[in-house]
Amino acid sequence: MIIRISTEGQFRVKSAMLDTLADLDEKIIEAVANEKQDEYQTLFNQMIEMVRNEGEPLEPDELVESIVVLPPPDTTFAEARKLFVGDGVIPPDLL
């Protein structure tokens, strides 16, 4: 499964990681909805680091369709209010 981190590139990750990412996505949605900026930042950093650490980076010239696209690591809380709503960034039909 391929996940893109915007501004960084694509990573090949194990499908089993999707459940954990979806849980983080739900927690981020809740933190943003409840205006908990510090909690949002902690959870979002965990999401990004999980993909970086457990994923295998693809070569920049290797273009593969990404099943999930995560926002850039420097996404502000104001930007997160627009992104982490409803279903968040992990499409529910992937689960």
CA distance 86 to 28: 11
Q: What is the pLDDT of residues 45-89, one digit of tens each?
A: 999 999 999 999 999 899 899 999 999 999 999 999 999 999 999
- Structural domains counted in the chain: 1
Nearest to 9 by CA among 89, 70, 50: 70
Residue 92 lies in a domain: no
Q: What is the pLDDT of residues 3-48, one digit of tens each?
A: 999 999 999 999 999 999 999 999 999 999 999 999 999 999 999 9
Q: Which two tokens stand for residue 66?
A: 């990404």
Q: Which two tokens stand for residue 29?
A: 């949605």
Residue 62: which domain range?
Answer: 2-86
CA distance 10 to 59: 8
